[in-house]
Amino acid sequence: MELDRREFANLLLGGATAVSMGSLGLPAFAANNAATILKKTDAIRNPQRSFAVDVSLINYERGKVKEKTSVTTYSRPTGSQFQTLVHINAPSADRGKILLRNGNNLWLYDPSSKASVRISPRQRLLGNASNGDVVSSNLVGDYNVSLSGSETVAGGDKKNYSCHKLRLTQKASSAPYSAVDFWVDQKSNQPIKGKYYTSSGKLIKVAWYRKLKNAMGATRPTEIIIADGFDPNKVTVMTMGNYRAKDIPSSWFKKEWLPNFKG
């Protein structure tokens, strides 16, 4: 399997030629609150109830597959955020390992040692996807948000969208990035694009949200294309499928209980 490099090149070109409206666009949506916009987008990114979803990640270099990982994510809302358990299904060398987010803490459980260790949400899971990317979260819970203006940007489907441009800055230690520029469609509140930065302002990666499908009562993006901020030949495709409602007990989200998980 190969990634269509021409398609991805068009995405990069489209992102680079976005038409900025800057502060000229601000009066048209000045009454909107940035946190409200982000909250609506969060409800599209993740169902705001207990659910499970299967996620596959494929890492490409120069259009060719380098690595694959598949996981199942189980998420339970608590307050404005989620408790999340991520079970690694493949590759076989990692099968049975579990990522657990409870509050601002992120743990990795290894069944071979039966030990849980604290890990960073910024650590890479596969390619350009970090641990924090597969752990369900509401951005409004992890970041302070402000409205930067409006821009017309190219989405992952190569169409142009009139977007709110939001600036997100880290407020919780569980946030995997120090800052994010995030574009949200003004009509639908769909996430369109994100640019992710280190604390020094270096671009880590760019992501496009696409392939909208109806799942658990909302139209959601089911594929995210993630380009490396340093090497555009390195691309990770993250695909979400089989969203389903699931009652998840609170006991699942205690690290001491993880050896009992059966999937």
- Each residue of 162-178: pLDDT tens digit? 999 999 999 988 788 99
For the chain, the maximum distance between any two Cα atoms, rounded to a whole number of angstroms, is: 57
At a CB cut-off of 8 Å and minimum separation 6, what does 250 contact? 76, 83
For 67-96, what is the mean pLDDT? 95
pLDDT tens readout for residues 235-253: 999 999 999 999 999 999 9
How many domains is the chain built from? 1
Domain enclosing residue 42, as ranges: 5-260
CA 241 to CA 169: how far, in whole Å? 29
At a CB cut-off of 8 Å and minimum separation 6, what does 196 contact? 177, 179, 180, 203, 204, 205, 206, 207, 229
Residue 206 belongs to domain with CATH number: 2.50.20.10
